[in-house]
Amino acid sequence: MVTTSVPVAANPVGLAEMPNAGSTNQKLYVASEGSSNVTVINALDDSLGTPVLIGAPQVWAVARSDSARIYVLDTSGAVLAINTLSDMVMPNSPVASAGAGANFMFLDSKAQRLYVTNPIANTLSIFDISEANPLAPVNPLTSPSGIDLSQGATPAYHPVSVTGIGDGSRAYVAAFQLTSCTDSSGTFPCINTQVDVINVGTNSVSKVIPIASNVPVDINNQDGCGGNTPPAAQWTPGTAARFRLSTAASGGGSTSNFKVYVSQCDAQNVAVIDTFPSNSNPADTYAGVTLAAPLSASPTLQVSISGASQTAATSSTPATTTFTYTPANTILHVGMSVFVTGMTDVGNNGNFVISSLGSGTFTVNNPSGVTNTTQSGTGAVLPRQNPVFLVAGP
């Protein structure tokens, strides 16, 4: 239950907590797009401290592992360091900028670096946060403004989130491309997603991992996953999801390997990347493993089914039923639940999970299905939630 409400500035968009549990100087810092100050909350008694003057609205904030600094990203792309003892911006600190449009910042305590994504410039900027060289830009490749993650593609890929694995060796940047797809129903907006792997030692892209291809832009999501156009220079609350893609890494060590997770708003799932060799796959592999989001409260989609085609099981694949449906432009996704009723053969009725999609068809695992191309029925499709942000536990 809510025990206390603390007033903060307008449009709060980021919260950084000093990780010094048990300290008498434990504070929360709130970044807000509607203020030029960062709000300071004393975590011990929920009282307000003196706001920190940044001089511009902010879009994100992170805390250093020793609790001595809070790093703030403002709407101009500037990165500033707050001294948590004085609650003032560090004097004489170098000007660090990821460029206008920068939207997200991740602090890698092991590598002592800040990673900042900019979906407008399509870059990743890297800054050294060691005491010997605070906020000095790490010059990646030959570009002083950051690593170009557009991949030379048209349309370009837009990086929107970044994480690092616990040994400090690599960073992982989630990026998406908006394009058009065509099937029997016509042309529709769709999205491709990928993860760029950054080698920390060389500050370069060591691998590009494709995640999803030709996923229909989710127009059924009432809150919006980001629309059909490139990201805006500044996110506006209430207009769309803050993060179309989000990424976080699990813990790992001597007895377990790190994994990277990517939430996909449009695809309604979370993709899993193995960062170390696993199950005969090389390191940094997406093997098609996704976690479907829970069912949502969005209205049920109705489709008319005009036939079913059964494929027998093999030694390596389950038996499946492929249903033909209309209207073919209904936005379906792998992982959606569909309740099929009205088919003459009862084995074709039931509650299924969509395993794959075709042009005007969807396929489900079903050992009881029967091929009949003249049957008719109804499919009630239950949309799933749209994951928009991931965070790793301690």
Average confidence score pLDDT of the chain: 88
Q: Which two tokens stand for residue 214?
A: 């030709």
Q: What is the pLDDT of residue 135?
A: 64
Q: What is the pLDDT of residue 165?
A: 92
Q: Within its chain, how far is the Cα of 239 from the centroid?
A: 17
pLDDT 10s digits, 307-351? 999 999 999 899 999 999 998 777 787 778 899 999 999 999 999
pTM listed for this prediction: 0.86
Q: Which residues on adjacent β-strands are paired with residue 302?
A: 380
Please enumerate in sequence order all residues whose Cβ is within 8 A of that of 200, keeping only pairs 6 or more positions apart, or say none. 108, 111, 113, 164, 168, 169, 170, 171
Q: What is the pLDDT of residue 185?
A: 60
Q: What is the pLDDT of residue 8?
A: 95
Residues 165, 252: contact at Cβ < 8 Å?
Answer: yes
304 pLDDT above the threshold of 80: yes
Angle at 283 (CA atoms; ends 280, 284), nearest 5 degrees:
120
pLDDT 10s digits, 348-369? 999 998 888 888 899 999 999 9
Report the greatest alpha carbon distance in the chain. Answer: 77
Tell me which of 2.60.40, 3.40.50, 2.40.30, 2.50.20 is the CATH number of domain 301-382: 2.40.30
Across 131-151, average pLDDT: 61
Q: What is the pLDDT of residue 264?
A: 95
120 or 23, which is more confident: 120
What is the signed CA dihedral for 314, 318, 324, 329, rounded to 10 degrees?
A: -120
Angle at 13 (CA atoms; ends 156, 42), nearest 5 degrees:
145
Angle at 320 (CA atoms; ends 318, 322), nearest 5 degrees:
160
In single-letter form, the type of residue at position 389 comes to F
Domain ranges of the chain: 94-292, 301-382
Highest mean pLDDT among 131-135, 275-279, 318-322: 318-322
Residues 89, 54: contact at Cβ < 8 Å?
Answer: yes
pLDDT 10s digits, 224-263? 788 888 888 778 777 788 899 999 998 766 556 889 999 9
Q: Which residues on adjacent β-strands are paired with residue 216?
A: 190
Q: What is the pLDDT of residue 141?
A: 32
DSSP string, 215-243: EEP--S-TT-SS-SSPPPSS--TTTS-S-
CA 332/CA 302 separation, integer angstroms:
11
CA 127/CA 109 separation, integer angstroms:
12
Please enumerate in sequence order all residues whose Cβ is within 8 A of that of 138, keeping only pairs 6 or more positions apart, or say none. 113, 126, 127, 128, 203
Nearest partner of 290 among 264, 257, 266, 256, judged by Cα: 264
Q: Which two tokens stand for residue 174?
A: 């989630």
Please enumerate in sequence order all residues whose Cβ is within 8 A of that of 299, keeping only pairs 6 or more positions apart, or say none. none
Q: Using only the alpha carbons of the chain, give its radius of gyration.
A: 24
CA 359/CA 187 separation, integer angstroms:
12
143 pLDDT above the threshold of 50: no
Residues 83, 93: contact at Cβ < 8 Å?
Answer: no
Q: What is the pLDDT of residue 254?
A: 57
E runs forming strands in 235-274 = 245-249, 259-264, 269-274
Q: What is the pLDDT of residue 151?
A: 76
Task: Say which range, 189-198, 252-261, 277-286, has the weakest mean pLDDT.
Answer: 252-261
Residues 322, 362: contact at Cβ < 8 Å?
Answer: yes
Across 114-134, average pLDDT: 86
144 or 219, which is more confident: 219
In the structure, what pLDDT confidence band is assigned to residue 142 with cuts at 50, 70 and 90?
Answer: very low
pLDDT 10s digits, 70-115? 999 999 999 999 999 999 998 766 678 899 999 999 999 888 899 9
What is the signed CA dihedral for 320, 193, 383, 240, rounded to 10 degrees?
A: -170
CA 166/CA 393 separation, integer angstroms:
13
394 pLDDT above the threshold of 50: yes
